[in-house]
A = this chain, B = another copy of it.
Amino acid sequence: MSLTRTVELEGHIIDSGTLQRAFGIVMDFGGSFEIETFDVGRHKDETSYCRMTVSADDERSLREILHELHQNGANLADPVDARVEPAPADQVVPQGFYSTTNHPTEIRYDGEWIPVEHIEMDCAIVVEQSAGDNTDARAYTKVLNAIREGDLVVTDEAGIRVKPPDRPRDSSGPFGFMQGGVSSERPSESLIREVADAIVATEERDESVLVVAGPAVIHAGGGDDLARLIREGYVDLLSAGNGFATHDIEHGLYGTSLGMDMETMEHPRKGHKHHIYAISEIIRAGGIEPAVAEGIVTEGVMYECVENDVPYVLAGSIRDDGPLPDTITDAVEAQEAIREQAREADLVLLLSSLLHSVAVGNCLPSTTKVVCVDINPATVTQLLDRGSSQAIGMVTDVGTFVPLLADAVLDSAA
Q: A265-B187, A375-B396 are in contact. Are A171 and B27 (CB under 8 A)?
A: yes
A14 at the interface (CB under 8 A from B): yes
Number of interface residues of A (CB under 8 A): 119
Q: Is the CB of B121 within 8 A of A272?
A: yes
Is the CB of A23 closer than 8 A to any CB of chain B? Answer: yes
- Kindly list chain B residues whose C-beta atoms are within 8 Å of the C-beta of A95: 277
Chain B: CB-nearest residue to A187: B221
Interface members, chain A 25-43 (any B CB < 8 Å): 26-30, 32-35, 38, 40-43
Cα–Cα, bound, A220→B189 (Å): 8
A272 smallest CB distance to B (angstroms): 4
Cα distance, A68 to B399, chains bound together (Å):
27
Contact A190–B43 (Cβ < 8 Å): no
Chain B's nearest CB lies how many Å from the CB of A188? 4
Q: Which of B20, B378, B397 contacts A14 (CB 8 A)?
A: B20
Does A150 lie at the interface of the complex (its beta carbon under 8 Å from any beta carbon of B)?
no
Are the C-beta atoms of A279 and B144 separated by less than 8 Å? yes
A296 CB within 8 Å of chain B: no
Q: What copy number does this chain have within its complex?
A: 4
Closest B residue to A28 using CB positions:
B171
Any B CB within 8 A of the CB of A134: no
Taking the complex as formed, is A369 at the interface, i.e. its CB lies under 8 A from any CB of chain B?
Answer: no
Q: Is the CB of B88 within 8 A of A219?
A: no
User: CB of A263 within 8 A of chain B?
Assistant: yes
Q: Given the known inter-chain contacts A32-B43, A318-B355, A356-B318, please indicate yes or no for A271 contacting B99, CB distance below 8 A.
A: yes
Residues of B within 8 A of A320 (CB): 331, 335
Q: Which of A270-294 contact B (CB under 8 A)?
A: 270-273, 275-277, 279-280, 283-284
| A183 to chain B: closest residue by CB | B219
Q: Within residues 187 to 246 of chain A, which ones have a CB less than 8 A from any CB in chain B?
A: 187-191, 194, 215-216, 219-221
| Bound Cα distance A314, B331 (Å) | 12
Q: Chain B residues near A30 (CB, 8 Å)?
A: 171
* A-B interface, 5 closest residue pairs, ranked by CB to CB distance from nearest: A180-B180, A15-B23, A316-B331, A396-B397, A185-B219
Question: A residues bordering B, Cβ < 8 Å?
Answer: 14-17, 19-20, 23-24, 26-30, 32-35, 38, 40-44, 50, 64, 67-68, 71, 88-89, 91-93, 95, 97, 99, 121-122, 124, 143-145, 167, 169, 171, 174, 177, 179-181, 184-191, 194, 215-216, 219-221, 260, 262-265, 267-273, 275-277, 279-280, 283-284, 315-323, 327, 329-332, 334-335, 338, 355-356, 358-359, 362, 375-378, 381, 385, 395-397, 399-401, 403-404
